[in-house]
């Protein structure tokens, strides 16, 4: 399961409401620092030949446009919450330009939600121009898309099962607040660990900043980036300055090279 060199681009690093949040006048939402502007959380994974998006957020169309992404081979889903699936309709553009159905990798539960939310794309008699989708069921076994191997990492979002993904020694986990002990062992000694860190105050289904910092320490990750960030966490620069040397807040447009 050796991966080629990969480029990881953070398409969005915000929580479900995005940052700034509609109607909010807090210092984060009013900040002039571009790193305080966060679309909903998603990443793009690229090898020399394969391009994969993890989650299609409500901002998916704009996320693709602002990096001028011309190719997309597959979409992989972490779970079925609206802020992670709502942009699926916009894969229609890739259906047109690539002249093929889009490969979709998701658990059976997430597929059921997609079929409900986008029933018109799965109808027996489809209206012309709806998304063309080809479903692939994933669970906990590693799977391959093009030349890229992904290993699902099962975590808990309150009582909802969610998948993170491991690509070599890069690990991406969003929307989690519990990681079972046997799963946590898969995170040990990661070169790069990405975790959600919603805010400082406790939350029913997301790690707090302190909890995320603690997991990085437990797993001995060489470098960690926090994502799925709320405006309640604080200003990007101020929070970044308070973190240990091997931890940073991710931001929209951050690009990592994985070898």
d(Cα 178, Cα 200) in Å, to the nearest integer?
16
Q: Is the pLDDT score of 200 beyond 90?
A: yes
Task: Answer whether residue 48 is part of any domain.
Answer: yes
Total domains in the fold of the chain: 1
* Percent of the chain whose predicted confidence (pLDDT) is above 70: 100
Residue 146: which region, alpha, beta or left (left: phi > 0; alpha: psi -120 to 50)?
Answer: left
Q: Is the pLDDT score of 1 beyond 90?
A: no
Domain of 74 in residue numbering reads as 6-258
Instruction: Label residue 83 by pLDDT band (50, 70, 90).
Output: very high
d(Cα 53, Cα 43) in Å, to the nearest integer?
6
- Which residues, listed in sequence order, are joined to residue 52 by a DSSP beta bridge? 45, 74
Enclosing H/E stretch for 192: strand 192-196
Task: Answer whether residue 1 is part of any domain.
Answer: no
Task: Answer whether residue 43 is part of any domain.
Answer: yes
Cβ-contact 219, 189 below 8 angstroms: yes
Task: Answer whether residue 104 is part of any domain.
Answer: yes
d(Cα 114, Cα 254) in Å, to the nearest integer?
29
Instruction: Label residue 39 by pLDDT band (50, 70, 90).
Output: very high
pLDDT at 134: 98
User: Token match 């805010």: residue?
Assistant: 199
Task: Answer whether residue 59 is part of any domain.
Answer: yes
pLDDT digits (tens, 9 = 90+) for 94-103: 999 999 999 9
Torsion angles phi and psi, residue 212, rounded to 5: -65, -40
pLDDT digits (tens, 9 = 90+) for 244-257: 999 999 999 999 99
d(Cα 94, Cα 174) in Å, to the nearest integer?
26
pLDDT at 105: 99
Task: Answer whether residue 17 is part of any domain.
Answer: yes
Task: Answer whether residue 24 is part of any domain.
Answer: yes
In this structure, what DSSP letter does residue 38 have?
A: B
Instruction: Label residue 71 by pLDDT band (50, 70, 90).
Output: very high
Torsion angles phi and psi, residue 96, rounded to 5: -70, -50
d(Cα 146, Cα 194) in Å, to the nearest integer?
23
Cβ-contact 196, 174 below 8 angstroms: yes
* Average pLDDT, integer, range 233-250: 98
Task: Answer whether residue 98 is part of any domain.
Answer: yes
**Model pTM score:** 0.97
CATH code for the domain of 195: 3.60.15.10
- Please give the C-alpha separations between residue 135 and each of 75, 108, 140, in angstroms, as whole numbers: 10, 10, 16
């Amino acid at each position: 399961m050796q991966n080629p060199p990969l480029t990881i681009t953070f398409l969005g690093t915000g929580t479900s409401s995005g940052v700034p949040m509609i109607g909010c006048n807090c210092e984060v939402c009013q900040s002039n620092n571009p790193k305080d502007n966060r679309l909903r959380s998603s990443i793009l994974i690229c090898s020399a030949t394969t391009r994969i998006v993890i989650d299609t957020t409500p901002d998916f169309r704009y996320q693709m446009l602002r990096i001028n992404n011309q190719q997309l081979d597959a979409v992989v889903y972490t779970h079925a919450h609206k802020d992670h699936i709502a942009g699926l309709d916009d894969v229609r553009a890739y259906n047109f330009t690539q002249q093929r159905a889009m490969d979709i990798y998701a658990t059976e539960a997430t597929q059921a939600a997609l079929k409900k939310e986008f029933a018109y794309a799965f109808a027996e008699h489809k209206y012309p121009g709806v998304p063309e989708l080809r479903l692939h069921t994933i669970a906990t076994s590693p799977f391959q898309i093009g030349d890229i191997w992904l290993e699902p990492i099962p975590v808990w979002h309150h009582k909802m099962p969610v998948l993170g993904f491991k690509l070599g020694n890069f690990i991406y986990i969003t929307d989690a607040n519990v990681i079972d002990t046997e799963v946590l062992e898969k995170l040990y000694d990661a070169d790069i660990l990405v975790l959600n860190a919603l805010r400082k105050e406790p939350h029913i289904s997301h790690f707090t900043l302190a909890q995320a910092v603690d997991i990085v320490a437990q797993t001995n990750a060489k470098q960690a980036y926090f994502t799925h960030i709320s405006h309640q966490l604080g200003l990007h620069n101020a929070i970044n300055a308070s973190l240990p040397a091997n931890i940073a807040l991710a931001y929209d447009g951050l690009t990592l090279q994985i070898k």
